[in-house]
A and B are shown apart, each in its own frame.
Chain A
Amino acid sequence: MNNIAFNIALPLLAAFLLPVIHNGSAKASRLVGPFVLLAMCWFAAAYFIFIEHPVALALGGFLPPLGISFHLDQLSLLMAVIIPLMLLLLWPYTNREGFREEALLLLLAGASSGMALSGDLFNIYVFYELLSVASFGLAASTHNGAAFAATFRYLVISGLGTVLALTGIGLIYTQTGTLNLAHIGQLAAQLDNNVGLAAFALIVLGIGVKAEIFPVNGWVPEVYATAKPRISALLAGLISKLAVLAIVRLLVVAYADTDALSLLLVLGILGIIWGELSAWRAKDLKRMFAFSSIGQLGMVLVAFSIPGEAGMFAGLAMMLHHLLVKPALFMLTENWSGSISSLTGAARQSPLGAALFILFALSLIGVPPFPGFWAKLIMVTGLVGADDSLYLLALGILLTATVIEANYLIRCAIQLYAPADENSSQSAKHGRLTLSISSALGVVLIISLFSITPLGNKLYQIAAEASNRSLYINTTLSNAQVPALRKIQ
């Protein structure tokens, strides 16, 4: 019995029942979450490995485009595997605060999986909403005034964003009369007008609030600075990528050859400039990473705006790399929270933490032979290949931003190794859990460094499949899998 719908059903079921289980036995309730996440991993991985894809799965037994369908290709299944893995890694194992946070995390897992898998625009919107609400709760879970204030800003802008996104979806529905992505793709010609593009802009900026797209990311620095490192890691690493992917799916099926690309490109360029410049003068590590992740997301956006397969390849490479590196860096802020100057000499107290910091910083900058370099190389060749002056401008900005990034990251690294002075924080030692999470991600980074050839080939294959518009449309509209609808007497 294997069905990818379990990846939505199980975490939601567990979250609904968690309060009840908790009232019965608090100990048992602590086991539920990890168990469900493991099961999700298994379902997605099994689908990835054993079942032929790409395939569309009709939910409720209604064939698309009437019913909602899940689009299962390598990309969405890959994300469906990564989501529970990431949550398992960042699960609050030592948290004694209660079941509510765990319930929210499970809901987040279900919503993320839904966003990754769904092939229906409105369904994506619903899961996006679910994801947003869960993330508000998690962001505020630090229980202090600053976190509440930051979350409130986040909530307001996010709410405004969802309204805009909904308007955009509405506009698309008025133009095409359908909500299924594949069906929209088939009718894409009706969207290549100013109403269609306006709808895209509304959706990009609406969903872009989570994707940290400039300029709708004003919430990012404060929320990441006040939330728990685990939560920041989750938001910056995973959630932002899902929002980007939703935009990219829409882009590929309906807006591949339009002005929509230049909108993404311009927003991406501005994001790089603003993010990296702000990070340069950030006062503490959390804000620095927050700004840097804005810059990185800008790079991802620029990469995706390259037309064709090259763009998908570059975008996925940058995205997956950031997904791996940023959570690890955020985890390291756990006990390195004060101003950067108080980190002087922290390497002596936490040598492994400092070494991991350097490893991830180097990969983030894109120093060969670390994976970040290959991602950047793919992106750079893609930008030159796009053969357009705006893309060359983006190339220049990307490279300059890398210099700035190298500057502030290495400045921190050197500070960590400097001899301690009177500013130094006395307790810059990392907890064992934090270190093992970061190390686990570091090990993944090192492994991917040594298996870069097969990884690159696989990623190219995934990108080729994900950027194939007619394949997407045919998979859903011609070959959707639905168990024979039982004719009822």
Chain B
Amino acid sequence: MNSLTPKQYKIIDFHRETNDTVTLTADMKIKHEPGQFVEVSLPGIGEAPISICSFSKDYVKLNIRQVGNMTNALAGLKKGDKICIRGPYGTGYPMHYFKGDNLIIIGGGCGVAPLKGIIDYVEKFRKDYGDIILFLGYRSPDDILFQKELDEWKEKFDLTVTVDQNSESKFCYDANTEFVTEALKRAEFDNEKKVAFICGPPIMMKFVVGILKDKGFNDDQIYLSFERHMKCGVQKCGHCMINGIYVCKDGPVFRYDQVTELSEKW
């Protein structure tokens, strides 16, 4: 079979997450790492790379933000519908390297989705890891993803949620109205036995890297996840190249010291 040919799967769970995002679960039983992605197709509409936001051998969960034709069509599906998927692709978070470490997880907007894979992973192997500190930033209370899960995370982890604006003063997990970078700046921690994971808009990642370095983090303690248009997902089509690296194969997850030299990264 051609590596560009997807297989058919069934949607076993589907729910609306926010106004412009949905989360669907496909019965794709496949080994994967947190941070990897799949290529999701709706024949006739097209194909799009979507990161896996779960960690299970029984299914994959995909959080989809409606930004174009393909994602809009995906958002119009329902439980029981068929979709086509190929993957998983790319290099995820090498979780076994971090055994015994404290994990700082910093996500912005829909960048939280791939990070949820880490959280799911850690919950499965909780005793292997130290403290889990989450900083999750959203535009407004209405944009907060994984609200069901947040209640649990609040109990289990050190959770900080921020919203850029909260004109309706809605309750949102004790969120402050500020950029997630502000909350991070204020937080008191150093780099001792810690690894940081960042995923979000390029400008946010750039700032967060700066803040972490101010706190003493080394480049090799920071992991980030890049977004490009991974059209083929299998290191061929060339669309996702950042200088000489293929985001679809060498990434989407990179250790910061791997990419410091890349002039096209932001």
A and B: real partners? no
